[in-house]
Amino acid sequence: MFELKTVGLFLITALAEIVGCYLPYLWLREDKTAWLLLPAAFSLAAFAWLLSLHPDAAGRVYAAYGGVYIFVAILWLWWIEGIRPSVWDLIGVSVAMLGMAIIMFAPRPS
């Protein structure tokens, strides 16, 4: 159950970070309204707060979170930007998620 909660929280955290970064991207690169910066700021604040909810050491959480972020970013590429991931994207995601699992779920002395 711990593993499912951890990965679920990482997924929500990654979505908050990607939204918080994608909205300013739209403003800067796609000439969208500057009003997008307001929800972007809230999304990035939520991202920081969500990362703080993990009970493990911050450095370990940040390192493992990176693997889930890569997974969500590739999903974003596909679902939002309409670009189908390559086989190399999928291999990279697999390696990143394996790294996340090793970092977060490896047995540790008490």
Task: Tell me what pLDDT residue 83 has.
Answer: 98
| pLDDT 10s digits, 32-50 | 999 999 999 999 999 999 9
CB-based contact 52:4 (threshold 8 Å) = no
Task: Tell me what pLDDT residue 56 has.
Answer: 86
| pLDDT 10s digits, 63-98 | 999 999 999 999 999 999 999 999 999 999 999 999
**Number of neighbouring beta carbons within 10 Å of residue 1:** 5
Inter-CA distances, 51 with 9, 11, 61, 83, 88, Å: 8, 11, 8, 28, 28
Residue whose structure tokens are 């939520």: 46
The mean of the pLDDT values for the chain is: 95
